[in-house]
Amino acid sequence: MSDMPHPRPPYLQREVTRSGETVWYVRRERHGPRIRLWAEYGSEDFWQQYQDALSGQVRQRAKANAGSLAWLVERYRETTAWTDLSLATRRQRENILRPALEKAGNQPASKITRAHIAEGRDRRTKSQGRHFIDTMRGLFEWAAEAQHVKTDPTAGVKYPKQPKTDGFIAWTEEHVAAYEKRWPVGTRQRVWLTVLLWTGLRRGDAVLVGRQHVHNDEISIETAKTEMKVTVPIAPELDEILKTGPCGDLHFIVGGNGQPMKKESFGNAFGDACRAAGVPGSCHGLRKLAAIRLALAGATIPQMNAIFGWTGSKMAMHYIDMADRAALARDGMRKLRAEVSPRGETEREVNKSAPAFRESKGQNAKS
């Protein structure tokens, strides 16, 4: 639930602003002055500033020169163009802006060119390059509209080409069975799997959900990525696991010390649990399986949107189409088998001659 180490270092205070920004202070006396720590929490510079504040040495934050990139970013953070972004998006973009400011924060923003943006893109992986362009485009589109710069240097800069893939591997029912065999009821790893699979939540929301989100046997939570409220009835399978635990009071998902986890540390821990079970180590792959299950059960587009926090029909139709294709394939193979089987052969004999089809049918029934 918190970025705080346990126990909290003396005199260190944490505050979240209206815009969702987390700020840190040191206050030695109850009504004494607060000394703000400007460095990234947990960094070497942060702890140096913390020690300086304890000893009474206050390091002033360097003031950005008007018109510099650092000055432009400070102004950007004060606008609704920034605060209207989801908290998860702002955190992601802060991680991109930080090294950019360290490298070119003192440079005039007006001197940044399309070539600089393209160079920044090319120094990163394809995925990181895409996020870099989105971050800088958001900044400079606002800056151009506010007339802080004459031209937008991100205009015309192309995204890196992404290979066409289906993304994270969707789990299968066999994967679930293997994981459950390795991590039985009563382990925290089993809680992790069940929460992810029976809520369909993204990793960042799954680590936050707890008993405070449960009302009338339903989980309701506003998602961090899209800021949409999703409601998921608690299935008996999930209810049983939550009653057995181990769970926290305000977080169903906890680590080995019984404390909540950040989404990054949870992703690593879940990956370790998956490797121990010999299955794909992706939380998002479980979200895909949850969507496939619902589509196979005949869920409608509005129903799937309500559970997964989607809008429109694209995502839901993707999984519904997958379910329809699977049903059509099974029906087609049944017709083929009926056509080529000798007259008088019983269904049992047909099944004996085609074990692969029988296995597929059994797998679908399990879904």
DSSP secondary structure string, 52-63?
HHHTT-PPPPPP
Model pLDDT for residues 271-316, shown as the tens digit of each residue: 999 999 999 888 988 999 999 898 888 888 898 888 888 888 888 8
pLDDT at 146: 94
Q: What band does 318 get if pLDDT is binned at 50, 70 and 90?
A: confident
CB within 8 Å of 155: residues ≥ 6 apart: 114
Which of 277, 286, 312, 227 lies closest to 20 in space, CA to CA? 227
Please give the Cα distance from 305 to 328 (Å, whole number): 24
Of 112-116, 122-126, 311-315, where does mean pLDDT reach its minimum?
311-315
**232 neighbors 219 (Cβ within 8 angstroms):** yes
User: 222-265, pLDDT tens digit by residue?
Assistant: 888 877 889 999 999 999 999 999 998 789 999 988 888 888 88
Higher pLDDT, 358 or 268: 268
Mean pLDDT of the chain: 83
Question: Residue 364: pLDDT band by 50, 70, 90 thresholds?
Answer: very low
pLDDT at 281: 80
Where residue 44 falls among pLDDT bands split at 50, 70, 90?
A: low
DSSP string for residues in 232-291: EE--HHHHHHHHHS---SS-S---TTS----HHHHHHHHHHHHHHHTS---HHHHHHHHH
Tell which wins on pLDDT, 265 or 114: 114
pLDDT at 242: 94
- pLDDT given for residue 121 in this prediction: 93
Average pLDDT over residues 57-77: 81
CB 246 within 8 A of CB 254: yes
Residue type, 41: Y
> By the 8 A CB rule, do 233 and 217 touch?
yes
Residue 122, pLDDT > 60, answer yes
E strands, 131-202, are none
**DSSP states of 66-113:** TTBHHHHHHHHHTSHHHHTS-HHHHHHHHHHHHHHHHHHTTSBGGG--
pLDDT value of position 169:
82
Q: Compute the average pLDDT of residues 188-200.
A: 95
pLDDT tens profile 322-338: 777 767 777 778 877 77
pLDDT in tens, 206-231: 999 999 999 999 999 988 887 788 99
> Where residue 18 falls among pLDDT bands split at 50, 70, 90?
low
Confidence band of 343 (pLDDT split at 50, 70, 90): low
Per-residue pLDDT band at 58 (split at 50, 70, 90) = low
Asked if residues 191 and 247 have their Cβ atoms less than 8 Å apart, the reply is yes
**Burial class of residue 275 in the structure, from the number of CB atoms within 10 Å of its CB (0-12 exposed, 13-18 middle, 19+ buried):** exposed
For residue 43, the SS3 value is coil
Measured CA to CA, the distance from residue 304 to residue 301 in angstroms comes to: 5
Domain spans in the chain, listed from the N-terminal domain onward: 12-54, 69-145, 168-367
What pLDDT does 132 receive? Answer: 95
Residue found by looking up tokens 């870099």 in the block = 132
Question: What's the rounded Cα separation, in Å, for the pair 142 and 65?
Answer: 19
246 token code pair: 């181990």
Chain-centre distance for alpha carbon 246: 23
| Lowest-confidence pick of 42-46, 89-93, 103-107, 349-353 | 349-353
The answer to whether residue 367 scores a pLDDT higher than 50 is no
Predicted pLDDT of residue 352 = 47
Residues linked to residue 215 through DSSP beta bridges, in sequence order: 218
Of the pLDDT bands very low, low, confident and very high (cuts 50, 70, 90), residue 52 is: confident
* Model pLDDT, residue 157: 94
What are the phi and psi torsion angles at 178 (to 5°)? -65, -40
pTM of the predicted protein model: 0.57
pLDDT of residue 232: 92
CATH of domain 168-367: 1.10.443.10
